[in-house]
Chain A
Amino acid sequence: MSITFVTGTSTGVGKTVTTAALASVLTGSGSVAVCKPAQTGLLPGEPGDIADVVRLAGAVTTVELARYPEPLAPDTAARRAGMPLLRCGEVVESVRELAAKHDHVLVEGAGGVLVRLGEGGFTLADVAAGVRDAGVGEVAAVVVVDPALGALNHAELTVRALRSAGVRCAGLVIGAWPGEPDLAMRCNLDDLPAVTGVPVIGRLPEGAGAMGRAEFAAEARRRCAPGLAAHSSRSTQPRPESRASVRPPVRDAISPASAPDPAAGTATVIAASAPPGPTP
């Protein structure tokens, strides 16, 4: 049983496509439920992020708890629309229910990790901590990162925020890796594991959201499955290299301090050891 919270360094960095990729991969090892606590910028009946996940990943249970018309932070959007604010407890309870009936639950946040989702200004980190305390399964977060200049700071801030909430960060995923990444992006992919202390466990190509389901599934398996396997096993040992993969592990031997990067291609998966637990 795994419960994975998908958050991002900002809005529009590829959280939904990453959630879909994780869902697509995880359907290979059990039943999957996807929860989107707060969907903003849409009217009732319009297809939201959840619909995108279903279109890309197929048969998964989906739950959307609240929807607000304006594309704003959920609590702001709720107040402006005069609609009820979400409560942290109801989100935790909803995730708990899904966890009781499914092998894997994915929870997609709104915007970045400290975006306020509702009453009392609770955030996705609070929900994750609540679910963790409920003891229904292995709780971890995945941070979706925009690889462009600025990524290092945003990623480190996000991972630190999760850490201070006592939520384990399983890894980073590049939500949209362009066909021609610039120097900053290439260097960021190398530096992200070093500055955050967690591995890059996936790298989705730009435009993956426009793929058909079969192509997307294949892409997700190639781009995320190995990193995900490492995250769920929490192994700290390199696995034996599989001959099947055409994509090698990448690590920088010149600066041994840098973390391995299973994302840049990968048969051997090396999971970073779990970050330290909650700091009082």
Chain B
Amino acid sequence: MLAQNLTAAGPDPLAWLDAEAADRRSAGLHRELSPRAADAPRGARGPIDLASNDYLGLSGHPEVIAGAVDAARRWGTGSTGSRLVTGSTEEHDALERELADFAGAGSGLIFSSGYTANLGAVTALAGRGSLIVSDAGSHASLVDACRLSRARVVVTPHADVDAVERALATRDESRALVITDSVFSADGDLAPLRALHAACRRRGAVLLVDEAHALGVRGDGGRGLVHELGLAGAPDVVVTATLSKSLGGQGGVVLADPRVREHLIDAARSFIFDTGLAPASVGAARAALTVLGREPARAVAVLDRARELAAICGGARPESAVVSLVLGDPQRAVDAARWCAGRGLRVGCFRPPSVPAGTSRLRLTARADLNAGDMAVAADVLGAVADGSWIAGTRTAGAAS
């Protein structure tokens, strides 16, 4: 071993990692990556995906793949630099306009991910001396953006409009930014956007809405919840979204008033100091948007499938593609997820701290391209988890009873 020949040194500076890993293991919070195999060849028993964010089934759509390939051939593999230097192509420019048109926004600005879009938008719109009011259920990227912003941050209870209004009313700061997801990722519930927007209007604040889980799922043809509620294009509403879920690719976008876009180009650090989104990802998103524009029924189908999954699980009618089958105990949820995987169903498993203690669950995401046969399998397998018969040894394989 080469390491032993090095100069003798003091204690291992990485020993603390082992202690932390042991703590996580004992708390049942250790996680491991499980690399997916390429999908089984046609005719083989590939798993049915109820775990990914590929809501509209576009990540494998031939037209979307072709969009990525064509853009890579045309522009190369990388964008070659910051968006401010060489990283902006005509492809980026076209996608920004197409996304803004689709969502009914004044303008669009592409980031390398939804995460960096949130970091860039929040930190540029709320610096030192301003107030951020953030929903307790806001996505981690919004939480991190709050931490980076140097603004005063008030976290309000989930979906509590009165608390938001109080925080805005009692502030000393002149500028305020209210941030929320439109569809919350753990439960799939909707933010009270109309009421939040009204409160922002009354109190002179800007509303920033993360539509990551709503784009392609809510609204006319998948235009998002902001569009559905008639708030699209309002100058005091800033929308962030991802190209990686319904649009099947990679990247993020901020959809806002042109003045906001101009400001972000000058001030958003995750825009300025990051390499522009790769051309292939831009091409994929443009193709996905074309498919969605032509086939708006996909956005209807994903909600239909979600409602069918919820009916199987005996849960409440979902308002998004996210459906929970709450089992309570974390180990039981892990076991159930594994049991489903063994029966050809890939499901997500959410445990604390992602969800409150005692609500460990299977987290299912509906996809527009699930067919009747896929749903039949889901009904058999999830039906057995929902009624507890998956645990009984009396069950015949595959027959939910």
Contact = CB atoms under 8 A, between A and B. Distances in A.
A185 B311 CA distance: 23
A208 B383 CA distance: 17
A84 interface: no
Given A182-B43, A254-B301, 8 more contacts: A179-B398, A181-B344, A186-B374, A218-B401, A246-B314, A248-B375, A261-B372, A263-B372
A264 B343 CA distance: 17
B49 to A, nearest CB: 12
Interface stretch (B28-36, B182-190, B235-243, B292-300): B292-300
Contacts of B379: 246-248, 264-265
B46 interface: yes
A179 B380 CA distance: 8
22 contacts: A149-B43, A177-B380, A179-B343, A179-B397, A180-B45, A180-B343, A182-B43, A185-B373, A186-B373, A187-B371, A189-B371, A208-B399, A246-B311, A246-B313, A247-B312, A248-B311, A248-B379, A253-B300, A254-B298, A264-B373, A264-B375, A267-B311
Contacts of A100: none
A181 B311 contact: no
B231 interface: no
Interface of A: 149, 177-190, 200, 203, 205-208, 210-211, 215, 218-219, 222, 245-254, 256, 261, 263-265, 267
Contacts of A261: 372
Contact of A181 (B373, B387, B399): B373
Interface string B26-70: 000000000000001011111010000000000000000000000
A215 B308 CA distance: 25
A253 B343 CA distance: 26
Most buried by B among A180, A200, A251: A180
Most buried by B among A179, A215, A263: A179
Interface residues of B, number: 41
Contacts of A203: 376
A246 B387 contact: yes
Given A180-B344, A183-B44, A184-B43, A252 B383 contact: no
Contact of B376 (A181, A182, A222, A245): A181
Interface of B: 40, 42-46, 48, 295, 297-298, 300-301, 304, 307-309, 311-314, 343-344, 368-369, 371-377, 379-380, 383, 386-387, 396-399, 401
Contacts of A207: 396-399
Contacts of B297: 253-254, 256
Question: Nearest 6 pairs between A and B by C-beta?
Answer: A179-B398, A186-B373, A205-B399, A248-B308, A189-B373, A190-B371
A252 B301 contact: yes
Contacts of B373: 181, 185-190, 264
A205 B401 CA distance: 10
Contacts of A256: 297
B128 to A, nearest CB: 49
A253 B297 CA distance: 6
A124 B375 CA distance: 34
A98 to B, nearest CB: 31
Nearest to A219: B401
Contacts of B45: 180-183
Given A253-B304, A254-B368, A254-B369, A265 B44 contact: no
